[in-house]
A and B are shown apart, each in its own frame.
Chain A
Amino acid sequence: MISRITALFVFTGLLLINTPVLAQDYGHEEIHQEEEHVEHNAHAEPNLHGDHADTHDSQGDDSDIKSVVKETIEHHLADSYEFHVTEGVSFPLPVILLDDGLKIFSSSKFDHGHSIAEANGSYYVMHHNKVYKTDANGSLNFDKHDHPINPRPLDFSITKNVFMILVMAVFMVVLFGRMAKSYGPNKTPKKAGRFLEPIVIYVRDEIAIPNIGEKHYKRYMSYLLTVFFFIWFLNLVGMTPLGINVTGNIAITFSLALITFIITQVSGKRDYWMHIFWMPGVPVVLKPVMAVIELIGLFVKPFSLMIRLYANMLAGHVVLMSIIGLIFVFGSWLVSPAFFGLTLVLSLLELLVAALQAYIFTMLAALYFGSAVEEHDHH
Chain B
Amino acid sequence: MDKLINDFSVGLFFWQTLVFVTLIFVLRKFAWKPILEAVNEREASIKGALKQAEKARQEMESLQASNEAILKEAREERERILKEARDMKNNIVSEAKETAAVETEKTVAVAKAAIEAEKAAAVAELKNQAAVLSIEVAEKVLGQELSAENKQTAMISKMIDEVKIN
Contact = CB atoms under 8 A, between A and B. Distances in A.
Direct contact, A vs B (beta carbon within 8 Å): yes
Interface string B94-124: 0000000000000000000000000000000
Nearest to A186: B42
B19 A166 contact: yes
A161 B30 contact: no
A271 interface: no
A172 B12 contact: no
Given A183-B34, A223-B24, 13 more contacts: A79-B12, A156-B15, A169-B19, A169-B23, A187-B38, A187-B41, A193-B35, A204-B36, A221-B36, A226-B24, A256-B20, A258-B17, A259-B21
A230 B20 contact: yes
Contacts of B13: 251-252, 254-255
A173 interface: yes
Contact of B12 (A161, A183, A226): A161
Interface string B39-64: 10110010000000000000000000
B148 interface: no
Interface string A176-192: 11011101001111000
Nearest to B28: A222
B17 A255 contact: yes
Interface string A245-281: 0000111101110110000000000000000000000
Contact of B31 (A157, A179, A250, A258): A179
A155 B10 contact: yes
29 contacts: A79-B12, A96-B11, A155-B11, A156-B10, A156-B15, A161-B12, A165-B20, A166-B19, A172-B23, A172-B27, A176-B31, A179-B31, A183-B35, A187-B38, A187-B39, A187-B41, A197-B35, A201-B39, A223-B24, A230-B20, A249-B7, A251-B7, A251-B8, A251-B9, A251-B12, A254-B8, A254-B13, A255-B16, A256-B16
A79 B19 contact: no
Interface in A200-241: 200-201, 204, 221-223, 225-226, 230
A200 B34 CA distance: 12
Given A187-B42, A259-B21, A162 B31 contact: no
Contacts of B17: 255, 258-259
B141 to A, nearest CB: 142
A343 interface: no
B16 A252 contact: yes
Interface in A135-174: 154-159, 161-162, 165-166, 169, 172-173
* Chain B: number of interface residues, binned into ranges: 20 to 34
Given A176-B27, A226-B27, A250 B32 contact: no
A173 B34 contact: no
Given A180-B31, A222-B27, A250 B8 contact: yes
A312 to B, nearest CB: 15
B32 A221 contact: yes
A204 B37 CA distance: 12
Interface of A: 79, 96, 154-159, 161-162, 165-166, 169, 172-173, 176-177, 179-181, 183, 186-189, 193, 197, 200-201, 204, 221-223, 225-226, 230, 249-252, 254-256, 258-259
Residue among A201, A204, A255 facing the most chain B CB atoms (10 A cut-off): A255
Contacts of A186: 42
Contacts of A249: 7, 9, 12
Nearest to B21: A259
Contacts of A189: 35, 38
A154 B11 contact: yes
A267 to B, nearest CB: 15
Contacts of A223: 24
B11 to A, nearest CB: 4
Contacts of B11: 96, 154-157, 159, 162
B22 interface: yes
A220 to B, nearest CB: 11
Contacts of B41: 187
A311 to B, nearest CB: 10
Interface centre among B21, B25, B39 (most CB of A within 10 A): B39
B4 to A, nearest CB: 5
Nearest to B22: A169
Contacts of A183: 34-35, 38
Q: Which of B25, B27, B36 counts the most chain A CB atoms within 10 A? A: B27
Contacts of A96: 11
Nearest to A314: B7
A326 to B, nearest CB: 24
A201 B12 CA distance: 32
B26 interface: yes
Contacts of A193: 35
A338 to B, nearest CB: 32
A165 B15 contact: yes
Contact of A177 (B4, B22, B25, B31): B31
